[in-house]
Structure 1
Amino acid sequence: MNEIVHSRFPKITPEGLEDLRSRIGVKIENTVEPWCYEATRDNIRHYAHGIGDDNPLWCDPDYAKTTRYGDVIALPSFLFATSRIISGYVGGLSGVHAMWSGADWTWHKPISRNTTIRTEAYLKDLIEHDTRFAGRAVQQIYHVDFFDADTDELLASADSWCFRTDRDHAREKGTKYTEVRSREARGYTKDELESFFKFYEQEEIRGAVPRYWEDVVEGEDLPTMVKGPMTVTGFIAYAQGWGGLYIRANKLAWRQHVNHPGLGIENKRGIPDCPERVHWEEDFALEVGAPGAYDYGPERCSWLTHQVTNWMGDDGFLRQSKCQVRRHNPEGDIVLIKGTVLRKFVEDGRHLVEIQQRAVNQDDELSAIGSAIVELPTR
């Protein structure tokens, strides 16, 4: 007798992939409205606080007046709030789960206060994979350029990617997170928490003290940065600064579900609700094969750049950053970000440092890997 399989969610189909492939290289018109159009004082601060970054260069205008910028500037990762596409708003394959999994950034100029951001985007590539988490998956890569809308200067460029996965397969047959899902919810003693909170007490923002290229030594470590313990409150704090992808209320939520039926996944009360609730609703996260409510991908990418901007000081400039997400960080996890200077070099007259980064949780399980290239002042 054949087993009857009940599928709740749509699946990846050849027709859906063919439609997506026809979009490769085509400029996306009428992109969904971003959370932030301008790098205002409040928008910058809300994003910075959403990742736990209190650097006065982005948060304190009085301090920023004393720097070479003369005013607050946006932290590099703020640009996630100016494009839904770079943050994971994917097209095609209606109803198929999307997991944001990484980004490759290049910045060309600092982002001054009150800059209005204009973006251009296109689907860059589709790559099929066979994954431990969800079997067949599609890596959907987008490219986005960020411009100063008034001067048309290119501020930054980035590729980001999501993995599109079959939710039912991930829940029923995925193996990568079976062990994580089966473990008890993470808890800590007071002493254990204090050992992690020491990192917060000791966190150093380099600020006005220049870090000169000549003083950097290859092989030296950056101060370890801690994020967590993960809580739904923390995930919501990030969404407040970043804007989320599908968080809408009342009429706007209804309109979104009418325009994009695949997004309106019924909750336990039969009400259409957004797929983004995997970040605050544990039961739904388990339904899609995740180990529980978990952090946002762009949030984790921003944590890695936070470590670097703390280290480089006001006179440094973050040129490039890469981040690849390796696992979910469910509620209770604590993440430790470690960085090492890989090399020093000079290119086109710029004195640059390459940094290698690795983020692990409290059990030394790999959370993310990354790298950065920083331009530093010279003596």
Structure 2
Amino acid sequence: MTSTAEKDQSDTEIYEFLETDIQRARDIVGIYHGVTQREQFSRATPDFIRNFARSYGDDNPLFVDEDYAQDTRWGGQIVPPMFNIALRQELLTDPMPREHRRPAFRGIHVFVSGSTTDWYRPVFDGDTVYAFHGFEKVELKESEFAGRSLFVTRVHVQFNQRAEVVQAQRVLTIHTERHESKKRKKYDAIEAATYTPEDIAAIDELYAAEKPRGAETRLWEDVEVGDSLGNMVKGPLTATDMMVFHSGGYGFAPYTPCAGRLAHKNRERIAAFYIPNEQGVPDVAQRIHWDSGYARSIGLPAAYDYGMMRDCWLTHYLTDWIGDEGWIETMSSQMRKFNYLGDTHYFTGAVTGKRVEGDRYLVDLEFRGTSQRGEVTCPATATVSLPSRASGLAALPTAPDEWERIAARLLKRHGELRAEKRRSGRS
């Protein structure tokens, strides 16, 4: 049993940054490494494309109907925008030098502030996706409230089997010093959402009115600043939604949900990630996303979603608006509030600007998801490219040359190491 004195000392312990961790973070800015972990899927197939779209409630025929997609500008199904959370083949790479490994920041609180995703090319049926990642920016800031905070921007770049960069996502994480004596906010004022049959009927009316623009071309010339992006609803959120999201592709590697012998092996590998449930059975900590009993045990009112699920919802809202011939160039989003089981989100937005850059006819958008409490939980901005009367099909942006050179080098080395592995297996 812990004595009162020992407990008091533990509760007031200060977790502070090690200067060596800060310097290491700065030293590895701009150093990229191939991602060696495979996601739940490694190659795009019609079944993956369809099921991933359906995992967050998207029935756009461009994604879910092979025959329909053949008659679009793309000539076949393309993978929905947020594919990076579900699709990745592991890269064979040389061992990472110790000095290039990211710091552990032990005892430091970390949370994701937001992300920006850029799209350069579509991913088609048959494509394999690889990735490399690294620190892009490290900034140290100080405040009276949070003490020292380290703002780390990490970039994840996806490329295909031809070493063509298809997407890049920048994720901003904030690492803060903390005192263990600061108690977790209990969120006592938040009540679980409840619904009458009339409430559900009203939500169903909104669902019934939704329709992807599809083959009805939205031209740049026909868009005006101030135009509404329309309405979309998501929810009420259920534990089933979370299960479908995982089964449809969200792998959450290296913590991919698994069962039986695989779960046993995973517990051996990352024992700290498994926390006994009320029956004494070790279960994943990420069950906080579907197990409200567990969420309440640590001071939250209910289980809550993944931020990546709302990013999928935000891109769903955009692809419904732009139609088959449009292209999302970039989207920046923030996750400001929890989205608890039972919550319903309403998506609205408007056109904020339009311009021409070279051969690209661009439209700037501002939009958001608002819960039934009236809280904007996920504000976002985006720029999309639309077809025009002047130039025809929407043009695609160009990926940075440096990234394509890195992708080509990594893919070449991957092939060499794979060949060496095969030769050693025969010897």
TM over 0.5: yes
- Selected match of 2:159 from 147, 152, 159: 147
- Aligned equivalent of 1:234: 241
AA aligned to 2:263 is: A
Aligned partner letter, 1:155: V
Aligned match of 1:123: 135
The amino acid across from 2:155 in the alignment is H
- Deviation for aligned residue 1:376: 0.5
Shift of residue 329, structure 1, vs aligned partner:
0.4
How many residues end up aligned between the 2 structures? 369
How far is 1:263 from its partner?
2.1
Cα distance in 1 for partners of 2:108, 2:38 equals 22
SS of the aligned residue for 2:315 comes to helix
Matching residue of 2:52: 47
Map 1:32-71 to 2 at 5 A. 32-71=37-76
TM superposition shift of 1:93: 4.6
Give deviations 1:192-227, integer Å, cap 9, x for gaps: 222222111000210011000000010111111110
Q: Percent of pairs identical after alignment?
A: 32
Q: Which amino acid aligns with 1:53?
A: D
In structure 2, the residue matched to 1:191 is 198
SS at match of 1:82: coil
1:346 pairs, out of 322, 331, 356, with 356
CA 1:84–1:307: 2 relative to 1, 3 Å: farther
- The Cα of 1:305 is off from its aligned counterpart by 0.8
TM superposition shift of 1:54: 0.3
Displacement over 6 Å in runs of 4+: 94-97, 128-131, 133-137, 165-168
Match of 2:309, SS state, is: helix
3-state DSSP class of the match of 1:374?
Answer: strand
Which secondary structure does the structure 1 equivalent of 2:388 belong to? coil
Partner of 2:82, secondary structure, is helix
Residue 320 of structure 1 corresponds to: 330
Q: Which residue of 79, 82, 87 maps to 1:77?
A: 82
Please identify, of 221-230 and 14-23, the stretch whose mean Cα deviation from structure 2 is larger.
Answer: 14-23
SS of structure 1 residue aligned to 2:365:
strand
Q: CA RMSD in A?
A: 3.4
93 and 298 in structure 1: CA distance in 2 versus 1, 3 angstrom threshold: same
Q: Tell me what 2:380 maps to.
A: 370
Q: Is the 8 A contact 1:134 1:173 kept in 2?
A: no
Q: CA deviation at 1:7?
A: 7.2
Residues 143, 290 of structure 1: alpha-carbon distance in 2 compared, 3 angstrom cutoff? farther
Q: Which moved more, 1:257-266 or 1:69-78?
A: 257-266
1:109 match: 121
Deviation (angstroms), 1:167:
11
Deviation at 1:36, TM superposition (A): 1.7
Shift of 1:101: 4.4
Query: Structure 2 vs 1, CA of residues 219 and 165 (structure 1 numbering), >3 Å: closer, same or farther?
Result: same
| 135-144 vs 311-320, greater mean Cα deviation | 135-144
Q: Do the aligned residues in 1 keep the contact of 2:190 with 2:301 (CA within 8 Å)?
A: no
Give the AA of the match of 1:197: D
Matched, 1:201 2:213: no
- 1:84–1:219 distance in 2 versus 1, CA, 3 Å: farther
Displacement of 1:47 in angstroms is: 1.2
Residue ranges of structure 2 left out of the alignment (5+ in a row): 91-101, 390-427
In structure 2, relative to structure 1, the CA distance for the partners of 1:216 and 1:137 (3 Å cut) is same
Does residue 356 of structure 1 match 2:366? yes
In structure 1, runs of 5+ residues without a counterpart are none
Match of 1:301 among 301, 311, 328: 311
